[in-house]
Structure 1
Amino acid sequence: MFNLVVGMLVGLVAALIVIPRLTAWFRAKKVEQLVMRSGEHDPNHAAKAGTPTMGGAGFIAIVILGYVILAPFLNGINVTAIVVLLAILLYAIVGGFDDSIKIFNNRDEGFRFLPKLSIEIFAAILGVIILRMSDFNFSLALPFGLPAIHSTVLYAVFVIVWLVGWSNAVNLTDGLDGLATGSAIIAYSAYLFIALQQNNMGVVLVNALMVGALLGFLVFNHYPASIFMGDTGSLALGAGLAMNAIVLHKEWSLLLIGIVFVIDTLSVMIQVSSYRLTGKRIFLITPIHHSVEKGGLTGNVDHPWNEWQVDALFWGITLVGTLLYFMFF
């Protein structure tokens, strides 16, 4: 419990100090979101252009440095915590390169799909190697009473899919001020509690630092945001959640705890499939949080929702999914 309190306080205070200074420095260096989506079906986010981005570098640095400093004093050094941190760091680096291409090439897209996917898979393979070098149990429990899978190869493939999939799912959700940040706070809090139940003080410390840092970041990232997390933050957050679920052997928990990320990702998949097969769109715009922003729950574009309303809805869904997991699993 001490790890939880200290980690959250350190993360929160550090973020409240670091993020405003990082925002000012990024603004001075023109590390800004220069191009926003402005298509026919898109919400009007033109006013967001010029907002500093890559803010994820701030809260990730706080978590990593906080762990390095605090872990020796709080009995928080273990392989599982280090693996979670490495997943966060590796995907932050991938996201950082992606953000850099967008910023310095003055375009809305960074890495092309295949190069980006290849680098994400490579980062996931590094995670698998590190897990394999430890005494980690490469077995996957299946839901509904099905027999567990005891195969190193199959579990390695699962880890790769989980890391790549969830990092991109959180990335898709990071489309409104504070949306991904608030959802991630709830999700990381859930794994903080699970780690506490398992007496894994290393992972408790990592997640406590992350929750505190994200709470501090949300002060500046809520609508109207003065800084965005960028792919640097969103890819790292998704990878960290996936690795949390893996090292705590609660792999399938993310389907409920991360239900908002699932909904956003499925909406994109459904929209793309429908358009390619029939030429028709199911939703006004995807990811679906933009559809809600543009037309509320009814799709009436004459009554759009503001970003606070959309955030509240999706944060609430995340909280309900998390509570359902703890109630029934």
Structure 2
Amino acid sequence: MLIWWYKYLNNYSNNISYISFRAIFSLLTAFFINLFIGPYFIKFFRKIQQYQIIRKNGPKNHYTKNNTPTIGGLFIIISIVVSTILYCDLSNNYVWYVISVLLSYGLIGYLDDYKKIKYNNSWGLTPFCKYFLLSIVALGIIYTMYNDSEKVISTQLIIPFFKKNIEINYLHIFLSYFVIVGTSNAVNLTDGLDGLAIMPVILLACGFTLISLLSIDIKNSNYLNVDYIQNSNELVVLCTAIIGSGLGFLWFNSYPAKIFMGDIGSLSLGGCLGTMAILLHQELLLIIMGGVFVFETISVILQIISFKIRKKRIFKMAPIHHHYEMKGILEPIIVVRFWIISLILLLISLISLKVC
């Protein structure tokens, strides 16, 4: 919005139109918004008793978290949207695709959280209802992107570590669907310990910030394993808003957490990161960068398959972070080690952008 005012009034410093200026201020604005409104949200949610519902078959040490407020993802979404409106060029379609998924998945997540709190159980929406709603939004966004006159979606798949693209034609529709819905649910599964999910989200946003910057430079895109995407510049500002908002939320979500993001936060953040991966043509790189989310999801799938077929569990409990809890590893240690793994995976992903 500020960039529109600058173009219209021409009274601001030229710095307002620079990506670096807007990206930094977007990060700081989102961070300080969360830092300011966080205590009010926590106090308000305590007052109306919007507490986290702990699953009965979960680790016993989680029962002490019953009085911790949830739905903290609400102020994550607020800070991201405010920063985006302030510093992004809102005529850029890429911004609206990501924000649409953020808000839509946030609403679905809120319905899920609300049902859990209302009926005092950990079930929320039925799996069918949840996946149906997530799928409708994902397919609607994908359809819109495919019909965009700016050709925002590429049917060529970039292979990490190899400067090679594979044409997959209409299979890309199915890939895009699984990227958006799958990433959303993967972040949701990972959000089980204090601060566990938000740091990998921040690191993913950092990776997409760099890729967005590289994508708008035709020389870099030819040299590196990224596509030249002319209008991806505004994703830089949006990514830094996610980083700032995530850091602001982590201020309250670090161990011992004063608030949880809930499904409203995990579903929305996962969905918008999946959408960014599609817009930047880095669907496979997302699997490496978001490896922690992938491991968590695979652990759940393997646990279900093993129990269905062999009537035995592979892990003491799934997702896998609960397995380590059951083995007696302290929660803060598990969380920090998962953060370290996320950082290492991010660095490996960045190496893949450089092709010999």
Amino-acid identity (%): 33
Match of 1:118 in 2: 132
1:265 to 297, 303, 312: 297
Aligned equivalents of 2:153, 2:173: Cα separation in 1: 11
Residues 216-255 of structure 1 correspond to what in structure 2 (within 5 A)?
A: 216-255=248-287
Give me the TM-score of the superposition, normalised by structure 1. 0.91
Partner SS, residue 305 of structure 1: coil
1:88 to 102, 106, 120: 102
Give me the TM-score of the superposition, normalised by structure 2. 0.85
Residue 219 of structure 1 and its aligned partner are, at CA, apart by 0.6
Q: Indicate if the aligned counterparts of 2:98 and 2:272 stay in contact, CA closer than 8 A.
A: yes
Q: Indicate if the aligned counterparts of 2:23 and 2:237 stay in contact, CA closer than 8 A.
A: yes
Residues 1-329 of structure 1 correspond to what in structure 2 (within 5 A)?
A: 1-33=20-52, 35-39=53-57, 42-71=59-88, 75=89, 77-134=91-148, 135=150, 136-143=152-159, 148-151=166-169, 153-199=170-216, 200-295=232-327, 304-329=328-353
Q: Indicate if the aligned counterparts of 1:31 and 1:103 stay in contact, CA closer than 8 A.
A: yes
Aligned partner letter, 2:277: A
Residue 113 of structure 1 and its aligned partner are, at CA, apart by 0.9
Residue 208 of structure 1 and its aligned partner are, at CA, apart by 0.6
Give the number of the structure whose alpha-carbon radius of gyration is greater. Answer: 2
Aligned equivalents of 1:328, 1:125: Cα separation in 2: 30
Aligned equivalents of 2:308, 2:272: Cα separation in 1: 33
Q: Indicate if the aligned counterparts of 2:158 and 2:281 stay in contact, CA closer than 8 A.
A: no
Q: Indicate if the aligned counterparts of 2:26 and 2:240 stay in contact, CA closer than 8 A.
A: yes
Aligned equivalents of 1:283, 1:139: Cα separation in 2: 38
Residue 76 of structure 1 and its aligned partner are, at CA, apart by 6.3
Partner SS, residue 225 of structure 1: coil
Partner SS, residue 37 of structure 1: coil
Give structure 2 stretches of 5+ with no counterpart: 1-19, 217-231
Aligned equivalents of 1:146, 1:209: Cα separation in 2: 31
Aligned partner letter, 2:117: I
Q: Indicate if the aligned counterparts of 1:294 and 1:305 stay in contact, CA closer than 8 A.
A: yes
Residue 205 of structure 1 and its aligned partner are, at CA, apart by 0.9
Residue 88 of structure 1 and its aligned partner are, at CA, apart by 1.2
Count of aligned pairs: 315
Give the RMSD, CA atoms, in angstroms: 1.6
Aligned equivalents of 1:244, 1:157: Cα separation in 2: 16
Aligned equivalents of 1:318, 1:147: Cα separation in 2: 26
Aligned equivalents of 2:103, 2:187: Cα separation in 1: 15
Aligned equivalents of 2:345, 2:285: Cα separation in 1: 10
CA 264–68 in structure 1, closer or farther in 2 if over 3 Å, else same = same
CA 25–100 in structure 1, closer or farther in 2 if over 3 Å, else same = same
Residue 31 of structure 1 and its aligned partner are, at CA, apart by 1.5
Q: Indicate if the aligned counterparts of 1:76 and 1:205 stay in contact, CA closer than 8 A.
A: no
Partner SS, residue 61 of structure 2: coil
Give structure 1 stretches of 5+ with no counterpart: 296-303
Partner SS, residue 141 of structure 1: strand
